[in-house]
Amino acid sequence: MSKSCNKWEYGNSWDKFPINIGQTWVEMKTNSSFAVHDLFDPLPAFMMSGDMIYCDPPWTLGNVNSFVTKNHSSKYISNFKDFYTQLFAQVGVIAPRVCFLEIGKKHVDEFNTEMGKIFPTVQVWKTTYYKKHPCFLLRGGYEPASFDYTGSDDEDTPSLAIRNENPSCVADLCTGRGLTAVSAISQNKRFVGIELNPRRMAVTLDKVSKKGGDICQK
Ligand SMILES: C[S@@+](CC[C@H](N)C(=O)[O-])C[C@H]1O[C@@H](n2cnc3c(N)ncnc32)[C@H](O)[C@@H]1O
């Protein structure tokens, strides 16, 4: 296959960590679990261990559907509300002590409203994404956080949030290429995560392994 046809195959991580739908892979030292799983399906039981969620979901309908395309799927959705309603339903199912979500300007108000249906306290900070794009970091919890994330970049906010919240287990419903997972496991925290695309989850496993993680299929 030519390089351009191969652009969504995410390097050779999947050759090393060929995770597939229906499998759980684990990181042995932290008892972390990873599965290729659609958040529209009932969650794997291990996701319930998360007492903190940190998640960077798709920000718009176009973004949701671009990830469907990248997954070589045709399960497109027609309304972003369908996506975030399901995302927040799964936050409610996990019922963590605290939940951080990243979102762009277009839907920050809807995310704020949905977070407020689950948590008594919602805080919103203006942050950056890839050091240049405006982003909003939302935190839902039972008490407000005293830390001010204003101006922080999304490369740092998962680590900062995990350090500040000191959870026993961090959950991510859109694990992607593993920023939250690496941030948690680097702090010796348990991580549990799902991700739609096996190739993207393999990148996460590869990164965790390169940081000294002991990865194997359960
Ligand atoms: C913005 S990216 C996450 C970026 C992540 N922080 C990282 O380090 O790569 C959003 C992720 O959500 C995943 N995703 C999209 N729809 C999903 C679904 N229905 N279920 C689970 N994951 C989904 C995408 O495949 C993508 O990897």
Query: What are the residue ranges spanned by the domains of the chain?
Result: 24-210
Give residue 44 CA to ligand 1 midpoint distance, Å.
Answer: 17
| pLDDT tier for residue 5 given thresholds of 50, 70 and 90 | very low
Residue in 82, 174, 206 to alter for ligand 1 test, most ligand atoms within 8 A of Cβ: 174
Give residue 63 CA to ligand 1 midpoint distance, Å.
Answer: 10
pLDDT of residue 2: 40
Q: What is the dihedral of CA 79, 85, 86, 92, to 10 degrees?
A: 170
pLDDT in tens, 11-56: 899 999 999 998 999 999 999 999 999 999 999 999 999 999 999 9
Whether 190 contacts 25, CB under 8 Å:
no
Q: Copy the structure tokens of residue 141.
A: 């919890």
pLDDT in tens, 63-72: 999 999 999 9
For domain 24-210, the CATH architecture is 3-Layer(aba) Sandwich (3.40)
Whether 145 contacts 139, CB under 8 Å:
yes
CA distance 84 to 31: 29
This model's pTM is above 0.75: yes
Q: Which residue reads 């798709």 in tokens? A: 58
